[in-house]
Amino acid sequence: MEPEPDAALVAAARAALVREIDATGVWQGDPGLRAAFESVPRHLFVPYYYVNAGGGHERLWGEDPDAARRARWLRGAYADAPLATRVRDGDLLSSSSQPSLMAMMLAELDVRPGDRVLEIGAGTGYNAALLAHRLGDDHVTTVDLDPEITESARRHLAAAGYRPAVVTGDGAAGCAERAPYDRIIATCTLGSVPRSWLTQCRPGARILAPLATGLITLTVRDAEYAEGRFLHTPAYFVPLRGGSRRAPHEQHIGGLPRRALQNELFRFLLELTAGSLDPHEALALWQREGRPVRERFGITVSGPYEWAWLDDPEGPYVWPL
């Protein structure tokens, strides 16, 4: 028989995680979000995960016959850290994001009762469960390209008592049959904003997605136009797989100062302008503009055009995506 984790240990671990996130202040004024993290059992969504070990990956799982290793798995399941859940040939394919980052993103998503939410990237299903706890199963749709991921997410969700719509498909295409949406949240990095998302949103909808190494929040005006700025938070997610993935660009960074290359904000600018701005020009701009923070950058989508900008979407600093 599968060993059951001790209920008292689970409760204590989950309460400790909630206290840790609570200390960041991310859900201040949003008791519903705090209640979701208090209620949804993360360990059911990560029955196993991988940790770095001697240049490879060690698998920890909840059915390990060794009690000490099971306890280690449970502690890790409620640590405020990302967990690698799918690894193939040494490459990370899927993960459960750091809970405090998830909390921050959900707080920025700013869901209201009655909102319909589309999540791009099902992962373990944990994020969809948090949304379903807030809004109800019928108001949440999560999409992933990989049928193995959607199958396991659906299984995890059912084990935890949630049944939002879990759809296997290209996240870049959205999920038209469940539209319209008031919120779209992506848990994978975009190269550009899929136009299909705008057409599936209600006017005034919000899109929150990783792009470059940041998080962009877009307000949708209509099916042809959306605009918004980056949040201050750095964000590193696996890339979106499917129709909206931008081809990688070769960046000739030779000769750039090591200090600049080690600066996280400069790396963000390099990533955001890849293919549009020479890295040496990017360095000159970055220095001239006083090492701009992420919040000074934004994205505009207008019809077939999409561009990134610094300070003003009308220029002078704009770059096509």
Evaluate whether residue 291 is within a structural domain. yes
Q: Nearest-CA neighbor of 318 among 266, 268, 272, 279? A: 272
pLDDT (tens digit, 9 = 90+) per residue, 242-269?
655 454 445 567 788 999 999 999 999 9
In the predicted model, what is the mean pLDDT of the chain? Answer: 92
Question: Domain residues for 130?
Answer: 7-234
Number of compact structural domains in the chain? 2
Residues 264, 201 share a domain: no
Structure tokens at 284: 């000159």
Residues 315, 169 share a domain: no
Q: What is the pLDDT of residue 77?
A: 96
Residues 210, 262 share a domain: no
pLDDT (tens digit, 9 = 90+) per residue, 51-109?
887 777 889 999 999 999 999 999 999 999 999 888 777 666 677 899 999 999 999 99
Cis peptide before 180 (omega within 30 of 0): yes
Residues 280, 142 share a domain: no
- Give counts: helices (H), strands (E), the chain: 10, 14
Q: What positions carry a catalytic annotation?
A: 97
Residues 270, 123 share a domain: no
Structure tokens at 31: 């008791």
Residues linked to residue 57 through DSSP beta bridges, in sequence order: 52
